[in-house]
Every structure is written in structure tokens, then in C-alpha cells.
Structure 1
Amino acid sequence: MQVYRCDELAVVTPPGRHLAEKLEEMGLDANDLAARMGYTPKAVNDILQGNCRITPDVAIALEMVTEIPASFWLRSQIAYDEFLSRERIKASLTDQSLWKKSFPDEVNVREWVQEKKDESKSLMPLLKFFAVASPKAWDGYYKNARLKVAFSISLAEVKDPYATSAWIRRGEILSDRDPMEKQEQIPVRKRLKAALPEIIAFAAANKTLPKREKKITYWTPEPEVVDDCMTGLQEICRKIGIRVLFVQNFKSAPVYGMYRWYKDVPLIQLHDRFKKRETMWYTFFHELAHVLYHGKKGICLQNIEITHNYPEKEDEANCFAQKCMMDAGFKV
């Protein structure tokens, strides 16, 4: 019997192979089966050779003759169809290997993309990381900014859209792992205004980075650099209804911070490699201004080479950040 593997757990056999085995067991040939089903011998041979799919009607007819449930024949056909489709997609993706090479090597080193031992040349793990079906779909979502509600800028404008998109997507994945209640914009703003003195006082008490035993690089895993100040800030903001994430960025896309609403929760995403605490706080307050003053539609990326669609909003965010820094005792 010829079998096919579609993954490490499943073995796929063409439905016609199962049927041929059953006919041999029953002592029937194709002509006998055709007569019992009311089909032509050619139609039965097409089923046996895999040239004709098993439809629900055919499956029920086979159940009548073989006493094997129609559900078995249908599941067998679906599994075989899936196998053939996966093979076609894999073949089509082999010509697009350069797309994978466009992403930073650190993506794999950090284990953001979960590759199995035999998938080093496959695009599938990277596509699953981005939750897109193809490189073309990635282009449409990220570079061409097809989702206008989520993106007010196109990543085609940035220096390295591949690294930037990986950083953004990592934030989405981390957010999904730790769900928060959906928020309304006005209540969040009210709670933020009330908690702003607490946040500024917290910044004033955390002005310097802790001493680290080893040098932090772009290749260092995320958990090794998140300290008490970062986690404390996350806890304060979560009570307000704001998610704060620290996600390691890339040398080719040294984005400092980002503001967006993700699944009805305001998200401030910062990188975790700030050399000075002062820079971290300024970036945070800048993004916090977007939560306080600006709408839910749009995304703001800080410290990357783009032309902002609304420079007045960036100016407003900068002024807010400078005032908060001064209130916290930083020299501006």
C-alpha cells in the first residue's frame, strides 16, 4: 500500500487504496462494485485510481456496499486533499526563499519562530509566526497597510519593514498570551489622568538602570533584561487598562516604542535595550500621550525613519513627555 505523510503525526493514504483493499477482502472486483453501486465501471476505476473525489453521495453508496461508514470515506478524502494541497503550497513557496532571508537571523535565535528539525528551509514556521498564508499576504498586511484601521502608516516607509513587522508581531503574540479586558477610550483616559502623578513619582524613584553582570546585546533573550522597574510600570498601567510590553528590537530596525490599540486594549510597546533609563521614560511618556490625547485608529512608531501622517500629534506627544520628565526630576 502506498502511504503519504502530511506531518509527523498523521499518515495519509489515498481513499482508493482503502477501497481496493476492501474489495479484495470482499472478493469483489471493480465491475462487481460498479454494478452494486449503480455506477459505470469507469467511474469506479476513477475512484480507485484517485482521479475522482469521493463525494457524500459516493461515500453513502460505499457504506451500503462495504458496511464501512460514509464518514470514514469522507475523512479519508479530506485528509488526502489536505496532503495534496500542502504539497502544492510547499512547492509554490520554494521559489520565495529570498523572502525568508529578508528577516533578521535573531528571529530564529530568540526562538520567536518555532521551527522543527526538518523545517530549516521551509517558510511555513515564519508564515505561522505572522499568522499569514503567504509572503504575498504579508506584503498586503504589513508593507501595503491594507488594514487601514490598524495602521495609519505603511511599513514600506521604514528602513527595514521585515524586522519592524517581526517586532510588532511579537508584541501581538505576547499580548494574546496574557489577555486583558476590553477597554473604552474615555474611561481609560480618566483613569490615566488620575494615576499620572503616581506614574511620575514612580519614574522619579527609578531614574537609573541596574548594574548588569554581562553585556546586553540584540541576541540576548528578552526575559534576561526586564527588571523590577519595568514590571512595576507594567503593573501600574495594567490597573489603568493599558498594556505595556517590553519587546527586544533589532539592530536594523531600532524602533524605541509604539502606541496602538490592539484588540480593544491600548498597547504601549517599548524595546528592552535602553542604555539610559532617561531614554526609556521619555519614550514611555511620549507613547502615553498618544493614549491620553489621540484616537484608537492608527499606530505610532517612535525612532524609525518614517514620515508621520500627523506631525502635530508627535509634537504634542513630545511636549507632554518633556513636561512629565521635568516633573519627575529629569533634566530635559
Structure 2
Amino acid sequence: MGNVIQNQYTPDYVSPPGETLEEILEERDMSQAELAERTGRPRKTISEIINAKAAITPETALQLERVLGIPASFWNNRERHYREALARKEEQERLSKQVEWLNQLPVKDMVKKRWIQFYQDKVEQLREVLNFFGVASPDQLQMVLSGTNVYFRKSPKSPSDKNAVAAWLRRGEIEADEIKCTPYNANKFKEALQQVRALTVEPPEIFQSEVVRLCAVAGVAVVFVPELPKTQVCGATRWLSPDKALIQLSLRYKTDDHLWFAFFHESGHILKHGKRELFLEFKESQLDKEEKEADTFAADLLIPPTEFKRFLASGKQRSKDGIRQFALEIGIAPGIVVGRLQHDGILPPSHCNELKCKLR
């Protein structure tokens, strides 16, 4: 569906309803003056309708029905279709001057992921992109983006493309719309997080649908949206409404430790921070207060601090068997323990990675 090449034919000329009226008058050998007299409309009005300088109003349509015997609905529909066609023609001309804007967007990648359809005609492609974003024009999209409150941690090494990030975020909104959620309840969400934590030992074919289901019951939509090139984003959190939150994950690093930390980090934003902000997470980011709080929330929920201290005191943190045993005791995937040890500098980044689960 995403790679289908389509073209739509838009006629260059739109026939005004006045032409139809003029043809009917000629067939009936009725002059404009006679029609004006019979309908009670000024001659000037009849002339302007025929010459496409005035519209056929519902009142005039009823008068034409009485005089000509042609239903008012015919004239009303004829006028409506004509005005709509004129508006589309004007839009065509306006959009034709804005097609260069497509070069700023990851259109090819969006088509490849089947987020949008491909059109050879540039104007039709622009319409498709605008439909995807749910805006009327490129100007409206820029206004929407500039009006968003964004709290993010951004890597100085790998700057992201704001338009690619916008497309990724929008895809998350579209997928979240399909998830039916009950109104948000913080206590239910906390309960769901404990159940999700236990799912970290399960394979994706089990945990993915369960995570979505458990969180939806608490008013949180969870979507897994593969990243676009140049987004550099790990996850995002925002509120779609006062009663529905969204957690969006990219699986950027494709290992279970990154996935689960990102999920619980975003969950921390939902429980601890405001409903008006959009939080974007990038790797190697500079942390502000909110990000540090979300990091601490995720780290402590996955591995309780007292348990982690006990594990470190045991001296088994550099042993694969020791890591497996500790993970089993606290009920999480061993890859999460490896990720924590690497993050804290206890294990080198190259050690024990075989304990992590690869995801795709």
C-alpha cells in the first residue's frame, strides 16, 4: 500500500451552474428578463449568476424550482460542487508553490515504512503529507511545532532533524488513536508498572501486547514506532488529553536493557511531571531536573536500591552466573542488570553483552 504510485485527475476548467441555467433558458426560449420577472429577482442578479459573478442562493434555488420545475436540490448541489471545485483549484495553485517544502521532510522513509502513500505528482504528495500531519498547509505545521512545549535531552554528537522527529511523533499519535484506553488513573498505572516489570523476562511476542493492554487499562497508550533516520530519539512521553497519556518507544538500540529503561523512564514522566509538556529522550543527553528524576524512577523501579547494594556487596557483579542469579532473585531480565552495571561503570561496555536480549 505504501509504495503504490497514484495520480489524481483534476480538471483545469470548472463549469459554473450559470452555464447550465443559460442552456436551459435557451432550450425553453426564455429570456433572462422573463426569468427575472417570474422569479422576482433583479435582472442584474440573473445576469451575474449566468456569468458566474454571483452564487445561486438556497432562496434562488427554490425560485428556480418553481419557475423551471427543476428541484432546488439540483441547483444547490450544482452551486456547492462548483464552489468546492473552485476552492480545490485555488488550493492546487497555492500548494504548487509550496512543493519544495517536501525536500525538508523524510518523505521517502515515510513511504518506505508505509506511513504514507507515494504520488508522482508533487502537489498530491504534498496533500498526502499534510493529511498525515493533520494540518491544512506547511505554515500550519510550523505553527503547531513551534507551539509545542518540549523538554528533551539532546546529544551534541548526533543532532537530530526536527522534521524527522515531528513525523515520528505524529506516527505515534496516529497509532495511539487506535488504542482504546480507560481514563488515566495513577494508582492503576503504578500497579500496571509492577506487572510490566515482571514481563521483562518474556520474549517480545508475549510482552509487547501485554504491555499495551496493561497500560491501556490505566489510561496510558504504549506504541512501538521504529525510528526514522536522523531522529536519534529513544522515546517520548506526552498527554493526548487530560485522561490519556502516550508512551512512544523507538527500539533505537535494539536490546532489552535500553527498551525497558526507556519505558520506565517515560513512565516516570507520566507519574511525576506535568501534563502539558512533551518529553523527548535522546541518547547522550544533558540532563535537567525532570530527566534526572525520570532516570532515578526507572533505575530504582527496575532494581531496588537496597537489592542493588546487596548485590554489589556480594562481589558477584562481574560474574555472568552471579548476574543471572541476581536477576532471577529480583525477577527481571539479566540484560537489564548488565545495562545498569555498564551505566554505572562497574562493567566495561564490552562485557556480558551476551546476557542482553536482542530485539527488532
- Shorter-normalised TM-score: what interval? 0.7 to 0.9
Distance 1:305 1:63, change over 3 A: farther
SS in 2 for 1:256: strand
Q: Cα offset for 1:154?
A: 8.5
SS in 1 for 2:97: helix
| Alignment match, 1:112 | 115
Partner Cα separation in structure 2 for residue 12 and residue 255 of structure 1: 47
Residue-by-residue CA offset, 1:267-312 (whole Å, 9 max, x unaligned): 111014432111111111100111222222211111179888xx21
| Alignment match, 1:54 | 56
> What runs of 5+ residues in structure 2 fail to find an aligned partner?
1-7, 305-331, 341-360
Aligned-residue sequence identity (percent) comes to 32
SS in 1 for 2:303: helix
Tell whether the 8 Å contact from 1:159 to 1:304 is kept in structure 2 after alignment: no
Partner Cα separation in structure 1 for residue 180 and residue 189 of structure 2: 20
User: Does 2:133 align with 1:130?
Assistant: yes
Residue-by-residue CA offset, 1:147-169 (whole Å, 9 max, x unaligned): xxxx32289x9731211111111
Partner Cα separation in structure 2 for residue 70 and residue 130 of structure 1: 38
Number of residues of Structure 1 aligned to a counterpart in Structure 2: 294
User: Does 2:293 align with 1:292?
Assistant: no
| Alignment match, 2:164 | 163
| Alignment match, 1:140 | 143
Distance 1:99 1:165, change over 3 A: same
**RMSD after superposition:** 2.8
Partner Cα separation in structure 2 for residue 70 and residue 320 of structure 1: 67
Partner Cα separation in structure 2 for residue 118 and residue 227 of structure 1: 40
Distance 1:52 1:240, change over 3 A: closer
| Alignment match, 1:70 | 72
Matches within 5 A, 1:1-332: 13-104=15-106, 105-115=108-118, 118=121, 122-142=125-145, 144-145=146-147, 151-153=148-150, 159-183=160-184, 188-203=185-200, 205-206=201-202, 227-263=205-241, 264-303=243-282, 311-327=288-304, 328=332, 329=334, 330-331=337-338, 332=340
Q: Cα offset for 1:233?
A: 2.0
TM-score of the aligned structures, taking structure 1 as reference length: 0.79
Partner Cα separation in structure 2 for residue 194 and residue 159 of structure 1: 35
Give 2:36's aligned amino acid: A
| Alignment match, 1:215 | none
Give 2:182's aligned amino acid: E
> What runs of 5+ residues in structure 1 fail to find an aligned partner?
1-5, 146-150, 211-225
TM-score of the aligned structures, taking structure 2 as reference length: 0.73
Give 1:300's aligned amino acid: F
Tell whether the 8 Å contact from 1:289 to 1:321 is kept in structure 2 after alignment: yes
Residue-by-residue CA offset, 1:153-197 (whole Å, 9 max, x unaligned): 289x973121111111111111222332332xxxx2212333433
